[in-house]
Amino acid sequence: MGVREPVPLSVLDLATVRAGGTSAQALAETTELARAADRLGYRRFWVAEHHNIDTVASTSPAVLIAHLAAHTERIKLGSGGVMLPNHRPAVVAEQFAMLEALHPGRIDLGVGRAPGSDRATAAAIRGPTQHDSSDGHPAPDRSQPDRAQPDPWQIDDFPSHLIDLMAYLGDVRAADGPWTDFRATPLATSAPAVVLLGSSGYSAQLAGYLGLPFAFAHHFDGGGVLGAVDLYRQRFQPSAVLDAPYVMVSVGLVTAADSDTAGYHAAPSLLRRWGIRTGRFWPLAHPDDAMSHPEWHRASAMPTNAIVGDPSEAVDGLQALAAATGAAELMVHTSTFGLAERITSLELLAEAWQRSTDEPAAAPPAAELAVSVAAP
């Protein structure tokens, strides 16, 4: 048998605040997890954007990425992702252009379409728009919106905002626009890799049309991954970024020395996911507390895409996911009550994945996702 080309593994983290913990503790643990992923040869480490949720400390990906880049050596750092409806494209472009200048070749800009928050939270973050009242609180929806002055933060405007953001970073797709008079950074020689994130066919088709890498949020447990990646490939058009489709798929994964231990450490995440599905953002509980929770039986019976088991089971699950989706890269989200268990999970997975492919997962060169920026 010849050596199989391995699918690279990456890591997604939310800086989840566990029961009895603090934001400072969660962010410190994210830093240690990034350092472990760097040491173990994972390709990327991404952090998400969430707002006004007591259990998630990852509110500003750009700030957290800067911190992580200063505490790691070679791993790529990125956003999984920046929720573009919450921000002006020029501001995001400046933030990530600076990150790229500070850490050339190590920065990814994953962009999402969903605001990820309620309207009051969104208004607090982005400032009031014409759909908000004068005091900044959301106004009642208009039955006949003013077409002459559309709300620039509507999700329907996401494609144009994404194109503006790409142009600010050097990937120009139109003859003219605001980028002709504004530059995100002077004399750039490279740009962060822009990746479109999604959990639906809409984002998949847009990523294909623009010739961008596409990352499907399979860890959401919402289903639809096969249909989305198929749409992405059908709609794909080569671009300055990619000659061929590049699919990334994220998945919840916990592994330990044996299946029972893995199930024990995965229990807090499973209970928390059940809470989220039923509209309750419970803190990440200790495994004993999770398994004695009044709703544990419902949580444990909930269908899930998560991969939980010993290292061989984890590898089998990832290989099956890669085969089904044709993913060029897999991204694992490991959520446990303790940091030590998260690091152990990454260690065991990296070792088992290496054995399964007869060579280190990080050995092959990464597919190039960065956009070269010509000097003005």
Instruction: For 257-266, write each residue's pLDDT tens digit.
Output: 999 999 999 9
Note the pLDDT of residue 130. 52
Note the pLDDT of residue 363. 40
Query: Is the pLDDT score of 141 beyond 50?
Result: no
Query: Is the pLDDT score of 6 beyond 90?
Result: no
List of residues 6+ apart from 245 with CB closer than 8 A:
208, 214, 232, 233, 236
Residue 277 lies in a domain: no
Instruction: For 171-191, write each residue's pLDDT tens digit.
Output: 999 888 898 899 899 999 999
Helix (H, G, I), strand (E, B) or coil at 46: strand
* DSSP-derived secondary structure for 247-310: EEEEEEEEE-SSHHHHHHHHHHHHHHHHHHHTT----B--HHHHHTSTTHHHHHTS----EEES
Domain that residue 199 falls in: 9-126+154-255+306-357
Rounded CA-CA distance 167/174 in Å is 8
Rounded CA-CA distance 164/27 in Å is 31
CA angle 293-294-296, nearest 5°? 60
Rounded CA-CA distance 239/162 in Å is 15
Note the pLDDT of residue 155. 57
Query: Is the pLDDT score of 144 beyond 70?
Result: no
Query: Is the pLDDT score of 107 beyond 80?
Result: yes
Structure tokens belonging to residue 350: 């990296």
Query: Is the pLDDT score of 117 beyond 60?
Result: yes
Residue 134 lies in a domain: no
Query: In which residue are the tokens 């749409």 written?
Result: 231
Query: Is the pLDDT score of 170 beyond 80?
Result: yes
**Residue 250 is which amino acid?**
S
Residue 84 lies in a domain: yes
362 or 168, greater pLDDT: 168
pTM, two decimal places: 0.88
**Are the C-beta atoms of residues 27 and 350 closer than 8 Å to each other?**
no
**Are the C-beta atoms of residues 65 and 79 closer than 8 Å to each other?**
yes
Say which CATH number the domain at 192 has.
3.20.20.30
Residue 296 lies in a domain: no
List of residues 6+ apart from 249 with CB closer than 8 A:
215, 216, 218, 225, 229, 321, 322, 325, 327, 329, 330, 331
Which segment of 79-93, 126-140, 187-201, 283-297 scores lowest on mean pLDDT? 126-140
Query: In which residue are the tokens 């890669």 written?
Result: 322
Rounded CA-CA distance 143/338 in Å is 49
**Number of folded domains that form the chain:** 1
Note the pLDDT of residue 2. 42
Residue 26 lies in a domain: yes
Note the pLDDT of residue 116. 62
Residue 194: exposure state from Cβ atoms within 10 A (0-12, 13-18, ≥19) = buried
Residue 269 lies in a domain: no
Instruction: For 272-300, write each residue's pLDDT tens digit.
Output: 999 989 988 888 999 999 999 999 999 99
- Work out the average pLDDT over 71-89: 94
Residue 341 lies in a domain: yes
Query: Is the pLDDT score of 370 beyond 50?
Result: no
- The Cβ of residue 209 has, within 10 Å, a number of other Cβ atoms equal to 15
Mean pLDDT, the chain, rounded, equals 87
- Work out the average pLDDT over 55-66: 92
